[in-house]
Amino acid sequence: MLAELSSALIAEVERAAKLLGAKQHICILTGAGISAESGIPTFRDKQTGLWENYGAEDLATPEAFTRDPKLVWSWYQWRRRVVADKKPNPAHDALAQWQYHTQSSGQKVTLITQNVDDLHEQAGSTVTHLHGHLWRNRCSQCEIPYQNKSKGSYSSADSMDYSEALISCPHCDGYIRPDIVWFGEALPVEAWETAEEAAANCEVFISIGTSSLVYPAAGLAQLAKENGAEIIEINTNPTPNTIVDITLAEKAGMVMPLLIQRITAL
């Protein structure tokens, strides 16, 4: 794996590891890019097959659901089928390993994700979801969580019924929708407070696989910077962001294992 990375990149990884090893409070924000190597398309990837004429921004909105609930529900059921068998990749595993390591090192590493998949959890991480959960449903009217199967849990691929037929809420007759934050909707209060607190108080902020276009999540790096943190970005196609101190322009699945190996060996 090392042979595939340039010496300049390895030097930057060493610099990032040294910085991270010397600090106590770290905040990490992950986006769709960290799950790309697991086979989950990002939002900027062209949609495939049936959905190639639709943009995610046209489907992931409350207005789209009001206009055509069947269309939006079918798209999510399709996305769920795409994601159902996907597994964490070395980037998720490395982060989980780092969190495990902090139990003895005393570092505080807060992991925040914009992703709605559960690959961080599958890898063994503790993570705060800013944009909801793909495996959860709730009523679009009364907001009561909807249990997918009578005996299944509320939130795993196993609990899903992948039918594209709309479901009516047993309490109010509203349509059941995915428990996901759509474009234009407010973020869950508790998750956002956790993220803001971690970003404002961290010494290093790491952004992994996010285009930093979707606010308010994209503002977290700025908040960290304003409070004196240094910023590390890991992205195959780095954002033109002037606040970044160290850029690791490589696949997260390549860089993260090396970075975490260096940090935990310090």
The residues annotated as belonging to the active site are 131
Which residue has tokens 């993570």? 127
Q: How many CB atoms lie within 10 A of CB 224?
A: 27
Q: What is the DSSP string of 253-264?
A: HHHHHHHHHHHH
* Rounded Cα distance, 33 and 42, in Å: 6
Which residue has tokens 């910085």? 19
Question: Which residues in this chain contact Zn ion in the complex, by CB under 5 A?
Answer: 139, 141-142, 169, 171-172, 174
Contact 124, 96 (CB under 8 A): yes
Residue ranges of E strands in 114-245: 128-129, 132-139, 145-146, 176-180, 204-208, 230-234
The reply to whether 31 sits near ligand NAD by the rule CB under 6 A is yes
Instruction: Name which of residues 109 to 128 contact ligand NAD (CB under 6 A).
Output: 114-117
Identity of the amino acid at 223: L
H or E segment to which residue 199 belongs: helix 189-201
Residue 139: name its binding partner from ligand NAD, Zn ion, none (Cβ under 5 to 8 Å by kind).
Answer: Zn ion
The reply to whether 207 sits near ligand NAD by the rule CB under 6 A is no
How would you classify residue 25: left for phi > 0, otherwise alpha for psi between -120 and 50, otherwise beta?
A: beta
Residue 256: name its binding partner from Zn ion, ligand NAD, none (Cβ under 5 to 8 Å by kind).
Answer: none
The reply to whether 40 sits near ligand NAD by the rule CB under 6 A is yes
What x/- string results for residues 62 through 101 when contact with ligand NAD is judged by CB under 6 A?
----------------------------------------
- Exactly one of 21, 23, 43, 62 binds ligand NAD (CB under 6 A); that residue is 43
Instruction: Name which of residues 227 to 256 contact ligand NAD (CB under 6 A).
Output: 234-237, 251-252
Q: Which residues lie near ligand NAD (CB under 6 A)?
A: 31-33, 35-37, 40, 42-44, 114-117, 131, 209-211, 213-214, 234-237, 251-252
